[in-house]
Amino acid sequence: MNETTVVMIAAIAALLVALVLLILYQRKVIREDTVSGVAEILQSLPVTMGSGLFGKIWEYSRAAVLAVEQMVKTGKVQPDDESRKNKALSLVRNAAKVDEVPFGFAEKLVADQCIEANVQQLPRNQQKITGAQDGETTG
């Protein structure tokens, strides 16, 4: 089985589980708090993009974005977009080096886009640089 087939089977299985939960909830076999608990568990599962090169860069980027946001909070990284992005890219490059993953021009472009995608998954208040006059945001 290739990776695409496994992903398709997993997606179909997830849809079937969701359908069964919905039917059980509508028939009052399970309570709302049970459905909410299952939803919370599913939301807490890590999102992975496979085990190939792209998957590794995605995971490095995800960790780098979170690390940079923490560094901004502690004052170790300037809160401007360019500083954040450069630091995140540096962290991705270092992680790839540690894992002996190739990191050339194409990988840098992918990492750049993965960083952007991961920033979009941050809570809304962390996506923009705050501190502008009268509650405005810049970024």
Distance CA 2, CA 73 (A): 42
Do 76 and 115 lie in one domain? The reply is: yes
Give me the residues of the chain with pLDDT under 70, please.
1-4, 6-7, 42-51, 124-139
Do 110 and 67 lie in one domain? The reply is: yes
The pLDDT value recorded for residue 46 is 59
Do 114 and 78 lie in one domain? The reply is: yes
Tell me the residue type at 3.
E
pTM, rounded to two decimals = 0.56
Would residue 75 be called left, alpha or beta, if left means φ above 0 and alpha means ψ between -120 and 50 degrees? left
Do 65 and 112 lie in one domain? The reply is: yes
The pLDDT value recorded for residue 136 is 42
The pLDDT value recorded for residue 69 is 92
The pLDDT value recorded for residue 23 is 86
Do 70 and 16 lie in one domain? The reply is: no
Do 33 and 99 lie in one domain? The reply is: no
Range of the domain at 16: 3-44
Do 62 and 130 lie in one domain? The reply is: yes
Contact 94/63 with Cβ under 8 angstroms?
Answer: no
- Looking at the 3D structure of the chain, how many domains does it have? 2
The pLDDT value recorded for residue 139 is 42
Do 130 and 65 lie in one domain? The reply is: yes
Map tokens 């997606």 to a residue: 11
Do 35 and 74 lie in one domain? The reply is: no
Contact 57/63 with Cβ under 8 angstroms?
Answer: no
Do 102 and 75 lie in one domain? The reply is: yes
